[in-house]
Structure 1
Amino acid sequence: MRRTLVMIFLLGTMLPIFGQHQVDVLIIGGGAGGTSAGIQAARMGAKVRILEKTTWLGGMLTSAGVSAIDGNHQLPSGIWGEFREKLYAHYGGPKAVATGWVSHTLFEPSVGNKILKEMTSIPNLDIVFNAVYQKIIKREDIWEVTYTQGRKTESIEASILIDATETGELLPLVDAEYRLGMDSKSETGEQEAPDEANNVVQDLTYVAILEDVGVVKHRKGLVKKPRNYSSEPYACACKREDGEMFGAVSGCEQMLNYGKLPNSKYMINWPNCGNDFFVNWPELSASERMEQFKKAKDFTQGFIYYIQNELGFKNLRLAEEFPTKDGYPMIPYHREGRRVKGKTFLVVDHLERPYDFGLYKTGVTVGDYPIDHHHDKNPEAPEIDFINIKVPSYSIPMGSLVPRQVDNFLVADKNISVSNIVNGTTRLQPVVLGIGQAAGAIAGQAVLKQSKTSKVSIREVQRALLEQNAYLIPFMDVTPSDIGFGAIQRIGVSGVLKGYGVPYKWANQTWFYPERLVSEYELKTGLEPLYPKLDKLQASGAPVSSKFLIGMLQLLEREASFDTLKTICSSVGYRGAFSESTPLDRRMISILVDQLLNPFQFEVDYQGKLLEK
């Protein structure tokens, strides 16, 4: 008997422990998008689990070390805005994180990870670290995923699966159609695209974090000279000519201050004769990829050696920032991956001329960064002047997160349905946080309504996002603290009043001008597609007054009086002069029309076209 018990114990120690769980939403990848998706879905009441292969949350924000935020400084949308406020609280305000010239918001990766873990400590959200998925199967309407955590094997079932990996790893595994590399001009209609499609992906970077330790005698943090080291690739790192988009760099301290972080640390993610590195990862096996990533890391080590020894900055040592043996980030910084073929396909024309199309009406997050690609380390990449493709700030349509074939499956990172060119702006950290939040809202709404993700109401998803102060349309001059924020966002995506887009340096713009007056004709034109009866309304170029607005409402058989308008204005905190003849600005018209007509109620399809009731 004793011998039998010993054998059972030994078998138990040799075999993996197998367990099974059920959740509403399973997210693979705890990067910026996955973390944000998990927070949003859990807030909406869905039971969520995130599987993350490292011990950190944040992906490129933290685990890859890219802790200088690119873009959306004036668009603090939703969870991105919350994350930034927590950075301000930690460091002591906006000025305390404006330490490097590449960004308004820089932070230590370890601090970013800590904040994200605090933000995810909420009901309904469970995170499994060091979790590596092994098998994904769909049985009818249920996803079954097997994963390992150390020696333990687990199986979990979920109604909805979200791919929040850095490179769209799940797309081929679930038979979702996807694009990879540069799209052809014939497919996208983009005049800047190459004539023929190719599989060229952007250079990646193994980032490093250095710390200024001052004058010390020890050698800790000084890197070894890599095998086959040459200073030639880094020789022009401290010099760059002035240009329309890129300012001149005339010295090594200026180069280093590009990514200066709080607490005397430096992010080394320098594109100009720095540590970008080309890896043709899509065509490599898993072992070959790891070998190439090691070369990318060695190349960064060579750049650090160059900084410490040939430039003379021996005070800058490799910081103990990451929980890794070698001190480097846990993952490389991927700038692109596989991109799902979604219900909509966002291309440059949509960004350049949003009001010529209807996709802006389905917006679920926003971005303002220019189109920025990194191909300097790949001599075979076609020469395209990406950075000078001028676009204003933009909305990402909901259909770019929803695959056109596979249901109850969403994407939540750089793997959304956009062209290769557009990926150059949608890939940035605050945009991906917004993409993730939108994916979480779609999943959360599907769980609430017990529907498939492809059938979820776009307006209901947008409403859920607005409740979290997320932007649907990038009106930079109307922040969540504005009394009209929600109304203006709803009026904007309803197409009633439009914004004014401006391509501008490294922070593109869209202005709403809330204090401008609105002409009678402009308001009529904006509302008429939703309310055909307004074709009978006589409208001039004069500013809209309360009297005109009341007449318009009466034509639509809505009860309205001057006292009604005055009560609404008072309820939202408006303190300006108000009479029947007072011209109304865009803010007040948005608030009044939103409450009295509610044009946001009209459902739209993925292309932004009105659905019949």
Structure 2
Amino acid sequence: MIRTGFILSVVLAASLGLACPACGSKTRCTVDVLVIGGTTSGTAAAIASACEGAATLVVEPTPMLGGMISAQGVAAIDGNHQMPSGLWNEFREAIRRHYGGANAVATGWVSNTLFEPHVADSVFKAMAAAEPLLEVRHGYRLVEVYKRGRQVTGARFVDETGGRLDVSARVTIDATDLGDALPLSGTSYRLGMDARADTGEALAPEQANDIVQDLTFVAILKDYGKGADKTIPRPAGYDPAEFAHSCQTAEGKPISAEVMLNYGRLPNGKYMINWPVNGNDVYLNVVGLPYAERDAALRPAREKTLRFVYYIQHELGFRNLGIADDEFPTADGLACLPYHREGRRLDGVIRMTLDDVTARYDRPAALYRTGISVGDYPVDHHHDCRPEIGKIPFPPVPSFSIPAGVMIPARTENLIVSDKAISVSNLINGSTRLQPVVLLTGQAAGTLAALAAKQGCAPREIPVRRLQAALLAQKAYIAPLYDVKPDDPDFEVLQRIAATGILRMTGEPFQWANRSWFYPDRTISVGEFSRGLHDYAPQVEVTDDTALLTAASASELLRKAGGTIAASSDTRPITRREAARMTDAALHPFDRDVDFEGNLK
């Protein structure tokens, strides 16, 4: 990511007003961008915002930064292994350097990238500390969102001692796990499963309900060595029958206890206990509860994890595995917060559904043109604790983009939404909730906030293409290309052309890491090129010509589309990469903005 120089940052800090006095009973701050929640997306948003030159404050209730992958202990990354985009790639490279390379973090079978939560916290804190325009405040929770008419103008926070933090901001980002700023700001949202008639998704239930995915209180176990006995006291209500079927796969195939534990095996002899198969998932819907009441309501989830830990130690015989004493500053040693897979979901200017992923080129809205982050994970829902839901037969999906409009409320101004509270359907939330996607959406949210704050306009007024261009400059993906990496000399060109749809991606569902291919070194037919150009320039007639596209035929079609390009006599077939370069140079199609539905302006 391209970072602002130190001297320039200091000047900007002075001019933009990053001024928070020392903590006291009542503190007032004025910033360009306020990020509510140092979650996975919130931390990325804050770093990106400061990097773009905006005076930024992130406020986080726990002492850790990083949300899911630190304070919540989900230290095994799901997805995006082959899409090293933006801040996700920066974070992963820092993790790899810490442990000694990519192989050193491929320790468990659930992921290619596993690490200790406290290391993730230290990496994020180091990244944040490198930004002079960024301040982090720990220990405060959100209690009020300030508004003037439809415009959010800041927020109020309190700490455990009753200390108050009042923040005024040009732009505010709700990066909380559960979308806590939405009701406080009067912003419309949804909760639970959508009705089929509402989203048009065939797999949605006929009637809407308020059921969210199961949550988990993660434990990190540590190997204290042969002969050690770290067995915790027998928890109240313990019954080994509760976990008798935990040593099996989701399909019911028996596995050994070692295989079950190695699911989340971390470096340095630690194990992430986030096991969905008759393990420590639990159904609790605490979304609507006031923050102060959540701890008590979540106690059953902590207790279930403690019972599972005791089962692993006492019944399975792993007495040497004790709750890690160097991860979380909590009384029981479990994660600071539960792993919420789902909370409130914004009513945005657009809503992304499962069908927008499975049929991206056949939808009324061309949302693929508006991508601001990417993901490749299948649709993954946890509902085993509510068996009446049944198994949802999710279709295979390709890798996908998150559209810009999911971050923008339909009616509230100067509020951007990230993390899991973006405007998506309940079904596709099963893919958009994963750590790299959330992190990258946060990067986009922070970039958008900074652009809006610096220009003095509402976030919805920033052109989609301007936001995408800023992200591309940060080596972040806007199109989910499996076969074009940031070190490709044509990375930005191919990303731009893929985002126009003139040269389309080919989707491929593939195990747990789905793909979208650009195939830059393949040839292309005249007919295929004409179809892509027709969407951009209707005066180009669509043909069924199966002849391979040449420089001569490409230049002729580009001139018909209004491009500035000399005629060519070269009849050599060209590759999709060459066609993309010619299109980019002749038409500059990415310079033509699109609205939030992907319609060309």
User: Do they fold alike, i.e. is TM over 0.5?
Assistant: yes
Query: What secondary structure does 1:410 align onto?
Result: strand
Matched, 1:162 2:167: no
Which position in structure 2 is the counterpart of 1:43? 51
Matched to 1:129, the amino acid is: H
Provide the C-alpha distance between the structure 2 equivalents of 1:375 and 1:52, rounded to a whole number of angstroms.
29
Matched, 1:340 2:349: no
> Structure 2 residue aligned with 1:596, among 583, 586, 590?
586
Q: Deviations over 1:41-88 (max 9, x none)?
A: 111111110000011101111100000001111112111111111111
The alignment covers a number of residue pairs equal to 573
Provide the C-alpha distance between the structure 1 equivalents of 2:36 and 2:260, rounded to a whole number of angstroms.
36
Provide the C-alpha distance between the structure 2 equivalents of 1:417 and 1:556, rounded to a whole number of angstroms.
35
> Structure 1 residue aligned with 2:390, among 383, 395, 402?
383
Matched, 1:113 2:121: yes
> Are 1:68 and 1:107, in contact at CA under 8 Å, matched by a contact in 2?
yes
Matched, 1:196 2:216: no
> How far 1:187 moved relative to its partner?
0.5
Structure 2 length-normalised TM = 0.91
Which position in structure 2 is the counterpart of 1:232? 241
> How far 1:315 moved relative to its partner?
1.3
Provide the C-alpha distance between the structure 1 equivalents of 2:280 and 2:309, rounded to a whole number of angstroms.
9
Provide the C-alpha distance between the structure 2 equivalents of 1:601 and 1:164, rounded to a whole number of angstroms.
30
Matched, 1:138 2:136: no
> Structure 2 residue aligned with 1:210, among 218, 221, 228?
221
Could you list the structure 1 runs, at least 4 aligned residues long, displaced by more than 4 angstroms after superposition: 283-288, 553-559
214 and 142 in structure 1: CA distance in 2 versus 1, 3 angstrom threshold: closer
Q: Which structure 2 residues correspond to residues 422-461 of structure 1 after superposition, within 5 A? A: 422-461=428-467
> Are 1:236 and 1:273, in contact at CA under 8 Å, matched by a contact in 2?
yes
> How far 1:153 moved relative to its partner?
2.1
> How far 1:436 moved relative to its partner?
0.5
Provide the C-alpha distance between the structure 2 equivalents of 1:331 and 1:216, rounded to a whole number of angstroms.
31
> How far 1:366 moved relative to its partner?
1.1
115 and 214 in structure 1: CA distance in 2 versus 1, 3 angstrom threshold: same
> Structure 2 residue aligned with 1:76, among 44, 60, 84?
84
> Structure 1 residue aligned with 2:108, among 77, 100, 112?
100
Q: Deviations over 1:215-271 (max 9, x none)?
A: 245x4x43111111111111011123758xxxx442100000000001111000000
Which position in structure 2 is the counterpart of 1:582? 572
Matched, 1:173 2:184: yes
> Are 2:217 and 2:339, in contact at CA under 8 Å, matched by a contact in 1?
yes
Provide the C-alpha distance between the structure 2 equivalents of 1:526 and 1:16, rounded to a whole number of angstroms.
60
Provide the C-alpha distance between the structure 2 equivalents of 1:124 and 1:469, rounded to a whole number of angstroms.
21
Q: Which structure 2 residues correspond to residues 168-567 of structure 1 after superposition, within 5 A? A: 168-217=179-228, 219=229, 221-240=230-249, 242=251, 248-282=253-287, 284=289, 286=291, 288-320=293-325, 321-357=327-363, 358-379=366-387, 381-386=388-393, 388-535=394-541, 540-555=545-560, 559-561=564-566
Q: Deviations over 1:313-342 (max 9, x none)?
A: 111111121122321111010000000000
Structure 1 length-normalised TM = 0.90
> Are 1:25 and 1:46, in contact at CA under 8 Å, matched by a contact in 2?
yes
Matched to 1:419, the amino acid is: S
Q: Higher mean Cα deviation, 465-474 or 440-449? A: 440-449
Matched to 2:460, the amino acid is: S
> Are 2:286 and 2:298, in contact at CA under 8 Å, matched by a contact in 1?
no
Q: Deviations over 1:413-452 (max 9, x none)?
A: 0001111111111111001001101111211221232211
Matched to 1:24, the amino acid is: D
Provide the C-alpha distance between the structure 2 equivalents of 1:411 and 1:87, rounded to a whole number of angstroms.
27
> Are 1:26 and 1:49, in contact at CA under 8 Å, matched by a contact in 2?
yes
Provide the C-alpha distance between the structure 1 equivalents of 2:138 and 2:192, rounded to a whole number of angstroms.
31
Query: What secondary structure does 2:279 align onto?
Result: coil
> Are 1:194 and 1:382, in contact at CA under 8 Å, matched by a contact in 2?
no
**What's the % identity of the aligned pairs?**
44
382 and 554 in structure 1: CA distance in 2 versus 1, 3 angstrom threshold: closer
Which position in structure 2 is the counterpart of 1:28? 36
456 and 352 in structure 1: CA distance in 2 versus 1, 3 angstrom threshold: same
User: Which ranges of structure 2 fall in alignment gaps of 5 or more residues?
Assistant: 1-22
Provide the C-alpha distance between the structure 2 equivalents of 1:294 and 1:238, rounded to a whole number of angstroms.
25
> Are 2:533 and 2:561, in contact at CA under 8 Å, matched by a contact in 1?
no
> How far 1:454 moved relative to its partner?
1.4
Q: Root-mean-square deviation (CA), in Å? A: 2.0
Structure of higher CA gyration radius: 1
Provide the C-alpha distance between the structure 2 equivalents of 1:465 and 1:241, rounded to a whole number of angstroms.
38
Q: Which structure 2 residues correspond to residues 8-27 of structure 1 after superposition, within 5 A? A: 17-27=25-35
Q: Higher mean Cα deviation, 477-486 or 285-294? A: 285-294
Provide the C-alpha distance between the structure 1 equivalents of 2:146 and 2:561, rounded to a whole number of angstroms.
53
Provide the C-alpha distance between the structure 1 equivalents of 2:125 and 2:166, rounded to a whole number of angstroms.
24
> How far 1:144 moved relative to its partner?
3.3
> Are 1:362 and 1:398, in contact at CA under 8 Å, matched by a contact in 2?
yes
> How far 1:203 moved relative to its partner?
0.9
Q: Deviations over 1:550-609 (max 9, x none)?
A: 3344556655458xx9xxxxxxxxxxxxx9333211112112221232111111111111
Which position in structure 2 is the counterpart of 1:8? none
Which position in structure 1 is the counterpart of 2:20? none
264 and 303 in structure 1: CA distance in 2 versus 1, 3 angstrom threshold: same
Matched, 1:608 2:592: no
Matched to 2:278, the amino acid is: C
